[in-house]
């Protein structure tokens, strides 16, 4: 069998490719790019049909972070011209979420800058989760608050949060080059804590940090080990005022290959195109829908995303459909797994869990 037939065959059976096969997806010539997209597209359609899940990001707290992640415009000493503010009130966050839900989003991602939440912060976010859930019973709420301490994931789960996002970002070997104030192991630990508390784990990467193909393959295989339900793929936006401001090294073709590789390694996970979609995929964004089954609608954390309406038009024009709240995103075998984890976690489950 040739490489792409092998990868499709494995993807349909949830068998991981070898490292060499994953590396070959990244390294192939532009001549076969559409063949790669078509092959990964078959795997995507097998597990997720032509549905596109829309997510909406609400930034609860912005800037003012003591950590030094070199890709981040909110890092300590960042000179990037971003909004800085401390904790939206639950009511304000619910109002912000309503805009995304009206646009068709079915998941709200509540994001706060910082190393990790204090217990008081968790109380605040728990209240926000409850407020959003009271108004929109069907919405999925994901929290993204940084490194978690013991017991915090359980409290978020008890408040009704469905998921927790914490990205690995890059390979273990390269991690020290992008951040010195916390470790790769700290990040792995938080993803495990979220999993163990019965939250659906969301963990992904950032491409374009100056990493090698080996680093990309390493981080995606590490993610597969952790088994997150969703894998956001960010493409670095090199913000002025951050150490990576000059790292413009992604092309639309490269982004498609990265998304295809992630799809082959994590065939049945929700692969989400996150930051940098417009800047780096540009006019090839519709092709990326054949690989990823999930995108953010509208604005991102500290950068302008495409207008929500343009995203909806692109989805329809490319022959895809927005996934409604009546559809379960994940394939059945994964949904069962989440349910088992929740039962095992022994948390005080919210009624809509």
220 binds ligand SF4 (CB under 6 A): no
- Asked if residue 144 belongs to a known ligand binding site, the reply is no
> 155 or 166: whose CB is closer to ligand SF4?
166
Q: What is the x/- site pattern for ligand SF4, positions 6-45, by CB under 6 A?
A: ----------------------------------------
> 113 or 347: whose CB is closer to ligand SF4?
113
113 binds ligand SF4 (CB under 6 A): yes
115 binds ligand SF4 (CB under 6 A): yes
67 binds ligand SF4 (CB under 6 A): yes
69 binds ligand SF4 (CB under 6 A): yes
* Number of Cβ atoms within 10 Å of the Cβ of 30: 10
121 binds ligand SF4 (CB under 6 A): no
- Asked if residue 255 belongs to a known ligand binding site, the reply is no
Confirm whether 144 is a catalytic residue: no
Confirm whether 255 is a catalytic residue: no
> 75 or 290: whose CB is closer to ligand SF4?
75
- Give phi and psi for 183, each to the nearest 5: -110, 165
> How many residues make contact with ligand SF4 (CB under 6 A)?
10
231 binds ligand SF4 (CB under 6 A): no
Rounded Cα–Cα distance for residues 52 and 321 (Å): 6
Residue 334: closest CA among 261, 269, 262 = 269
209 binds ligand SF4 (CB under 6 A): no
- Asked if residue 72 belongs to a known ligand binding site, the reply is yes
Confirm whether 202 is a catalytic residue: yes
Confirm whether 109 is a catalytic residue: yes
CB of 171 to ligand SF4, least distance (A): 17
Q: Which residue in 75, 107, 257, 272 is the catalytic one?
A: 272
Which stretch, 66-74, 242-250, 279-287, 307-315, contacts ligand SF4 (CB under 6 A)? 66-74
Confirm whether 14 is a catalytic residue: no
CB of 247 to ligand SF4, least distance (A): 16
Sign of CA dihedral 326, 327, 329, 335: positive
Q: What is the x/- site pattern for ligand SF4, positions 143-162, by CB under 6 A?
A: ---x----------------
Q: Are 243 and 210 in contact (CB under 8 A)?
A: no
Active site residues: 65, 69, 72, 109, 142, 202, 272
Interface residues with ligand SF4 (CB under 6 A)?
Answer: 65, 67, 69, 72, 74-75, 113-115, 146
């Amino acid at each position: 069998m040739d490489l792409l037939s092998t990868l499709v065959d494995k993807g349909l059976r949830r068998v991981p490719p070898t490292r060499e096969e994953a590396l070959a997806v990244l390294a192939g010539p532009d001549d076969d790019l559409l063949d790669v997209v078509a092959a990964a597209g078959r795997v995507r359609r097998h597990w997720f049909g032509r549905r596109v899940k829309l997510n909406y990001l609400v930034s609860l707290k912005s800037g003012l972070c003591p950590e030094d992640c070199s890709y981040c415009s909110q890092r300590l000493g960042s000179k990037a011209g971003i909004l800085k503010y401390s904790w939206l009130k639950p009511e304000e966050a619910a109002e912000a979420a309503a805009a995304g839900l009206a646009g068709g989003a079915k998941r709200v991602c509540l994001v706060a800058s910082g190393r990790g939440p204090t217990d008081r912060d968790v109380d605040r976010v728990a209240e926000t989760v409850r407020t959003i859930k009271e108004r929109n019973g069907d919405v999925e709420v994901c929290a993204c608050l940084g490194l978690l301490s013991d017991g915090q994931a359980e409290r978020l789960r008890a408040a009704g949060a469905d998921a927790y996002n914490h990205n690995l970002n890059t390979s273990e070997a390269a991690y020290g080059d992008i951040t010195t104030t916390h470790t790769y192991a700290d990040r792995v630990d938080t993803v495990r804590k979220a999993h163990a508390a019965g939250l659906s784990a969301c963990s992904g990467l950032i491409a374009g940090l100056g990493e090698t193909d080996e680093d990309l393959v390493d981080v995606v295989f590490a993610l597969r080990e952790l088994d997150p339900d969703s894998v956001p793929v960010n493409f670095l936006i090199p913000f002025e005022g951050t150490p990576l401001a000059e790292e413009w090294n992604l092309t639309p073709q490269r982004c498609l290959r990265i998304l295809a590789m992630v799809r082959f390694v994590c065939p049945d996970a929700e692969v989400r195109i996150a930051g940098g979609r417009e800047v780096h995929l540009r006019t090839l964004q519709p092709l990326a829908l054949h690989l990823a089954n999930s995108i953010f609608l509208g604005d991102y954390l500290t950068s302008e995303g495409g207008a929500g309406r343009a995203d909806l038009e692109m989805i329809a024009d490319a022959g895809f459909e927005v996934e409604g709240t009546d559809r379960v995103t994940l394939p059945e075998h994964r949904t069962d797994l989440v349910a088992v984890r929740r039962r095992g976690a022994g948390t005080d489950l919210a009624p809509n869990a």
